[in-house]
């Protein structure tokens, strides 16, 4: 679903819509099959709009975690993010997973020797 721009519109509004369309195109061409969660992720968020926070999450802490994730050079673990933001690791992880769920961050697994793979996060949203 694409949205309309009503004239007169600013260059910034046009740019946001074009970036959003480019992101949709990239996500859709990378999928061979889509689940409902994929459709929700692709068509759920709008550029410039705030994603509603899950119960127990606050906008202030979300901004803090977002800032840490944006400033990171590459991928960051929940423990590294927690240390930088001075939060509990569990709290940092909840915000990081929220960003992944809303399509503003991505996660990849880093496999080591023993134990579970480590989840590492990277900010992907524009602006």
In the chain, domain spans: 1-49, 51-127
78-85 vs 89-101: helix axis angle to the nearest 10?
Answer: 110
Fold of 51-127: Arc Repressor Mutant, subunit A (1.10.10)
CA angle 81, 16, 1 (to 5 degrees): 100
Do 45 and 60 form a contact (C-beta atoms < 8 A)? no
Q: pTM of this prediction?
A: 0.60
Tens digits of pLDDT across the chain (127 residues): 456 778 888 888 888 888 878 877 887 787 777 776 666 666 664 444 455 788 889 999 999 999 999 999 889 999 999 999 999 999 999 999 999 988 889 999 998 877 888 999 999 887 5
φ, ψ for residue 85, nearest 5 deg: -90, -5
């Amino acid at each position: 679903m694409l949205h309309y721009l009503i004239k007169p519109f600013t260059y910034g509004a046009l740019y946001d819509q074009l970036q959003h369309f480019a992101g949709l195109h990239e996500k859709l061409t990378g999928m061979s099959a889509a689940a409902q969660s994929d459709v929700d992720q692709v068509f759920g968020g709008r550029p410039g709009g705030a994603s509603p926070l899950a119960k127990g999450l606050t906008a202030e802490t979300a901004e803090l975690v977002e800032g840490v994730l944006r400033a990171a050079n590459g991928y960051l673990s929940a423990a590294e993010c927690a240390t930088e933001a001075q939060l509990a690791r569990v709290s940092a992880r909840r915000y990081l997973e929220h960003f992944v769920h809303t399509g503003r961050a991505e996660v990849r697994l880093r496999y080591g020797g023993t134990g579970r793979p480590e989840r590492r996060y990277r900010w992907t949203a524009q602006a």
